[in-house]
Amino acid sequence: MNEVKCDCGHSNPYGTNLCQYCGKPLQDKDNKASLLDMRYEGAARRSQTYNKSIVDKIWNFFSSVKVGIWIIVLTLIASSIGTIFPQEMYIPNNVDPAEHYKDEYGIAGQMYYTLGFHNLYGSWWYMALIASLGISLIIASIDRVVPLYRALKNQRVTRNDAFLKRQRLFGRSKVEQADKTLIKAKSLLEKRKFKVREENGNLLAEKGRFSRWGPYVNHLGLIIFLSGAMLRFFPGMYVDDIVWVREGETEVIPGTDGEFFIENEQFFIELYDEDDETFGPAMERAGGQTIQNYQTNAVLYEREKTDTVGAVPELEEVKKDEIRVNHPLRFNNFALYQMDYKLNELNTMSFTLDNRETGESIGTIEIDLFDPQDEYDLGDGYKVVIDSYFPNFEFNDDGEPSTVSSIPDNPAFIFQMFSPEHPDGEYSFVGIQRNEDVFGENDYEMSFADVDTKNVTALTVRKDLTLPFIITGGVIFMIGLIQGSYWSHRRIWLKRTDREIWMAGHANKHWESLKKDFRTLAEETELIIPEDQSKKAKKER
């Protein structure tokens, strides 16, 4: 395309509205308007210039701020819908979601589920919304930042009269001593932290140009943030697992390829003192005790590098730590969080073999509920064999004894008791709160003697390699936001004509501050306060 040559001699790219050198309006619409459209300095933006190919059309669509706002608003509405009822991840995980939403929330809940709103934030269309937000951020920023940068870099001090006259703040001052006035104005503006450039006796005072880059910097931060969030879907970037560890036991940490192990030395809960002077009344009103701390005293081990495969791993202690809520154990890129617990899980049970008639106790057996032996020999012809073991006992639908799980929440046994009198063994069914003879009357019985419990801790295992991207994105976003919000870009042009000094001002926002700058000039020099032409322009329209 042809370049546009301005009277001042500068060649501007095709589509330019205001000459990048002198600011002269190059298009008809600007020549007729009483105020110039100063957005993006009238530079040629790709989206405003080309609209032929499909690429142009896509580019133009996503570069539009209007489209961007629509995407924001749609995301906002969609997000709010997701909070009407709890998302699937927050409902109990032992229920059928379809049933749950229907039972809890009636027809509305059923519709919610049918429309897929129970998993809204993971739905393809929500992802598509976020993706288009990202694309819009990229395209809209590039479309503007490049021409804006060029325009601000190329701007000259001496500006075309038509440019000055059509600024929102514009005024002509008749002055006696132009030189003196300009020198005074320059020093005043410099005192107000303006950068002043001089050319042919004209002045351009500029302040806070870097704030113009704020929006693009914060958009860049958001783009990095969103890309970082996307990286989670790559394998190996993200681990979300849970490990249950009993006190005194050591478990391999999932996701570490068997490299790391965690030992639970102790898990405990601490409660606040109910008689506490400060907190007592609040706890009394709440009608319960308040937990002060959940803690696992943990030891982290690393497997020693050996060549033997399959052998029992040699573990080397890496560190000891107290894992509490808000205080995870960190190693490499992993963190272990206190997530759940189970107090007093049954661990071992002991029974005595008793002679019913004499009451004599023959001996004691201790059963590890996680690893029971097949038989316990008590000597002298006495022996106890575990015929069946039900860690979590129930009668199944057929009325047969069975187990719900392998966790010993409700252990029950069928023992076979051997004694010199009964070399074939007597059968006895023993569980919590039950002790029955299986075939006829027994001479011997198993009596419950003791139980040993342990606390179990559940630790969330988390690795998130996307965090560095998220953090970088967040930091850049925040810098950009502050840069663009707390500063403004202000320019003041002073141009000398025959007997007058023409002045014009532009600010990208906070016009009141710019007006204050002009007021200071007017107080100290012969210059007048320029008129705000925006109202006049509004009336004309």
Partner 1 sequence: MTGMEAVSGNFLLITFFMYLLATICFTVSVTGRKWRDKQGEMKGNRWGSFGFIVTLIGFIFALGYFVTRWMTAGHAPVSNMFEYTTFLGIALSLAFIILYAIYKTNVLGMFTMPIVMLIIAFASVFPSEVEPLIPALQSNWLKIHVTTTALGQGILSIGFAAGLIYLIRTLDFTKRDKKVFWLEFIMYSLISIIGFVLVRYIFSMFQYQAEFQYINETGNEAEMTYNLPPLLGPNEGEVLTSGAMEPLISMPAWLRSDDANAVVWSLGAGLILYVLLRVLFRKPVGGKIQPLLKGINPDTVDEVSYRAIAIGFPVFALGGLIFAMIWAQIAWTRFWGWDPKEVWALITFLFYAAYLHLRLSQGWHGERSAWLCVIGFVIIMFNLIFVNLVIAGLHSYA
Residue ranges binding partner 1 (CB under 8 A)? 39, 65-66, 68-69, 72-73, 75-76, 79-80, 82-83, 86-87, 89-90, 104-106, 121, 240, 272, 276-279, 281-283, 285-286, 290-294, 324-326, 328, 335, 337, 339, 460, 462, 464, 467, 470, 474, 477-478, 481-482, 485-486, 509-512
Nearer to partner 1, 84 or 183 (CB): 84
Q: Which residues pair with 429 in a beta bridge?
A: 414, 436
Nearer to partner 1, 414 or 470 (CB): 470
The distance of closest approach from Cβ of residue 38 to partner 1 in the complex, given in angstroms and rounded to an integer, is: 13
Task: Please report the sign of the dihedral spanned by the C-alpha atoms of residue 92, residue 98, residue 99, residue 102.
Answer: positive
**Cα-only R_g, the chain:** 40
The distance of closest approach from Cβ of residue 432 to partner 1 in the complex, given in angstroms and rounded to an integer, is: 24
Contact, 338 vs 457, CB < 8 A?
yes
Encoded tokens for 17: 């509205």
The distance of closest approach from Cβ of residue 515 to partner 1 in the complex, given in angstroms and rounded to an integer, is: 11
Nearer to partner 1, 290 or 361 (CB): 290
Question: Exposed, middle or buried: residue 246 (CB in 10 Å: 0-12, 13-18, 19+)?
Answer: middle
The distance of closest approach from Cβ of residue 28 to partner 1 in the complex, given in angstroms and rounded to an integer, is: 22
Contact, 146 vs 47, CB < 8 A?
no
Nearer to partner 1, 278 or 433 (CB): 278
Nearer to partner 1, 106 or 248 (CB): 106
Nearer to partner 1, 462 or 496 (CB): 462
The distance of closest approach from Cβ of residue 462 to partner 1 in the complex, given in angstroms and rounded to an integer, is: 5
Contact, 352 vs 361, CB < 8 A?
yes
The distance of closest approach from Cβ of residue 170 to partner 1 in the complex, given in angstroms and rounded to an integer, is: 18
The CA distances from residue 538 to 42, 170, 420, in Å, are 20, 16, 113
Residue 285 has phi, psi (to 5 degrees) of -65, -45
3-state secondary structure of 384: strand
Residue 51 has phi, psi (to 5 degrees) of -155, 50
Encoded tokens for 435: 């002790």
Nearer to partner 1, 96 or 441 (CB): 96
Query: In sequence order, what are the residues at sequence separation of 6 or more whose Cβ sits closer than 8 angstroms to the Cβ of residue 338?
Result: 294, 295, 296, 323, 324, 325, 327, 328, 457, 459
The CA distances from residue 478 to 140, 217, 223, 436, 475, in Å, are 19, 9, 13, 71, 5
Contact, 303 vs 318, CB < 8 A?
no
The distance of closest approach from Cβ of residue 75 to partner 1 in the complex, given in angstroms and rounded to an integer, is: 6
Nearer to partner 1, 195 or 330 (CB): 330
The distance of closest approach from Cβ of residue 465 to partner 1 in the complex, given in angstroms and rounded to an integer, is: 13
DSSP of 228-296? HHHHTTSTTSEEEEEEEEEBT-EEEPTTSTT-EEEEEEEEEEEE--TT-TTTHHHHHHHTS--EEEEEE
Cα 443 to the chain's mean position, in Å? Answer: 67
Encoded tokens for 147: 């021409």
**Alpha carbons 260 and 331: distance in angstroms, whole number:** 10
Q: What letter does residue 89 receive in the DSSP assignment?
A: G
Residue 315 has phi, psi (to 5 degrees) of -110, 140
The distance of closest approach from Cβ of residue 87 to partner 1 in the complex, given in angstroms and rounded to an integer, is: 6
Nearer to partner 1, 184 or 510 (CB): 510
Contact, 332 vs 346, CB < 8 A?
no
Nearer to partner 1, 106 or 381 (CB): 106
Q: Among 209, 216, 214, 219, which residue's Cα sits nearest to residue 152?
A: 209
**Alpha carbons 426 and 30: distance in angstroms, whole number:** 107
Nearer to partner 1, 78 or 528 (CB): 78
The distance of closest approach from Cβ of residue 131 to partner 1 in the complex, given in angstroms and rounded to an integer, is: 16
Nearer to partner 1, 291 or 404 (CB): 291
The distance of closest approach from Cβ of residue 128 to partner 1 in the complex, given in angstroms and rounded to an integer, is: 16
Nearer to partner 1, 82 or 431 (CB): 82
Residue 211 has phi, psi (to 5 degrees) of -70, -20
Contact, 35 vs 533, CB < 8 A?
yes
3-state secondary structure of 39: helix
The distance of closest approach from Cβ of residue 293 to partner 1 in the complex, given in angstroms and rounded to an integer, is: 6
The distance of closest approach from Cβ of residue 516 to partner 1 in the complex, given in angstroms and rounded to an integer, is: 11
Give, for 482, the enclosing helix (H) or strand (E). Answer: helix 467-485
Encoded tokens for 375: 């038989």
- Say which amino acid occupies 34: S
